[in-house]
């Protein structure tokens, strides 16, 4: 055990130099896919809130289907399948789209919980004074829902950060793929992946603590204002 940690301590500075650029790619992939997921989720929730029963049912089926898909299957479909239709996307773009499509359904469910937590009379009052359904969603529903959905959205972001590692299988040069390259060069898989696990932990754990700190404060503020 002492020899293990000694080797890890000696080689970590060399590996970190290679892992830092890959981790930047991981953060960019996380940010881009999460931003796109939020946009798609807002569209889903906006349509689901204002459309007719048939459209709402179709969206429910779509959300259920997408949530049941393995992330890797969708990534393979986009990266390896679309070129057969004449659409070639880079590994990074494919990873961004695939993760965004999957996570947009989870974010949409979070948004729905936030929207349903609002009193229905607020929406009706907005419509009564002449606002369009889109304006009601934008100016009344969404600003209030943000307080409710922020903690679960941050939790979803943490999950997305960890799931970006799957994109190594479509050759996105992120943290996990770089770790596999280092492993193939050094034949020290346990050392390499312990270091990678520490990197993920050092990012995910503070975010988790922040969510735990933030949630009761947002709830307390809402209670005072209600």
**pLDDT tens track for 142-179:** 777 777 888 899 999 999 999 999 999 999 999 999 99
C-alpha to C-alpha distance for 174 and 111, rounded to whole angstroms: 29
| 186 pLDDT higher than 80 | yes
Q: What is the dihedral of CA 55, 56, 62, 67, to 10 degrees?
A: 170
Question: Which range has the worst mean pLDDT, 25-39, 162-176, 184-198, 207-221?
Answer: 207-221
> What's the domain count of the chain?
1
Which of 80-85's residues contact partners 24+ apart within 8 Å by CB, and which partners?
A: 80/170
Band of pLDDT at residue 215, cut at 50, 70 and 90: confident
**pLDDT tens, position by position, 109-140:** 998 887 777 766 776 777 777 777 777 777 77
Categorise residue 92: left if φ over 0, alpha if ψ from -120 to 50, beta otherwise: alpha
pLDDT confidence of 224, banded at 50, 70, 90?
A: very low
More confident residue, 112 or 39: 39
* The predicted structure's pLDDT at residue 130: 77
pLDDT higher than threshold 90 for residue 48? no
Task: Indicate whether 217 pLDDT > 70.
Answer: yes
**How much is the average pLDDT of 68-88?**
94
Which pLDDT score, from 0 to 100, does residue 37 have?
Answer: 97
pLDDT value at residue 129: 78
Say if residue 91's pLDDT is above 60.
yes
Looking at residue 152, which CATH number applies to its domain?
1.10.3720.10
The answer, yes or no, to whether residue 222 has pLDDT greater than 60, is no
- Once rounded to an integer, what is the mean pLDDT over residues 56-80? 92
Between 44 and 135, whose confidence is greater? 44
C-alpha span between 122 and 120 (Å, rounded):
5
Residue 225 confidence (pLDDT) = 43
Q: Of 23, 54, 1, which Cα lies nearest the Cα of 202? A: 23
pLDDT (average), residues 179-188: 94
Domain that holds residue 73: 2-225
Give tens-digit pLDDT for 199-209: 999 999 999 99
């Amino acid at each position: 055990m002492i020899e293990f940690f000694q080797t890890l301590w000696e080689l970590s500075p060399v590996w970190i130099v290679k892992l830092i650029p890959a981790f930047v790619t991981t953060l960019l992939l996380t940010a881009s896919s999460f931003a796109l997921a939020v946009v798609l989720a807002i569209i889903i929730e906006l349509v689901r809130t204002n459309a007719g029963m048939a459209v709402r049912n179709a969206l429910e089926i779509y959300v259920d289907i997408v949530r049941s898909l393995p992330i890797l299957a969708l990534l393979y479909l986009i990266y390896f399948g679309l070129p057969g239709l004449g659409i070639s996307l880079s590994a990074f773009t494919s990873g961004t789209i695939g993760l965004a499509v999957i996570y947009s359904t989870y974010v949409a469910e979070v948004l729905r919980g936030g929207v349903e937590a609002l009193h229905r009379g607020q929406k009706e009052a907005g419509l009564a004074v002449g606002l369009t359904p889109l304006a009601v969603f934008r100016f009344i529903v969404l600003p209030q829902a943000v307080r409710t959905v922020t903690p679960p959205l941050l939790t979803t972001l943490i999950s997305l950060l960890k799931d970006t590692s799957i994109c190594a299988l479509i050759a996105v040069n992120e943290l996990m793929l770089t770790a596999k390259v280092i492993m193939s060069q050094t034949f020290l898989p346990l050392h390499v992946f312990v270091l990678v696990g520490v990197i993920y932990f050092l990012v995910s754990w503070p975010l988790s603590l922040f969510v735990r700190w933030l949630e009761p404060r947002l709830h307390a503020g809402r209670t005072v204002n209600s």
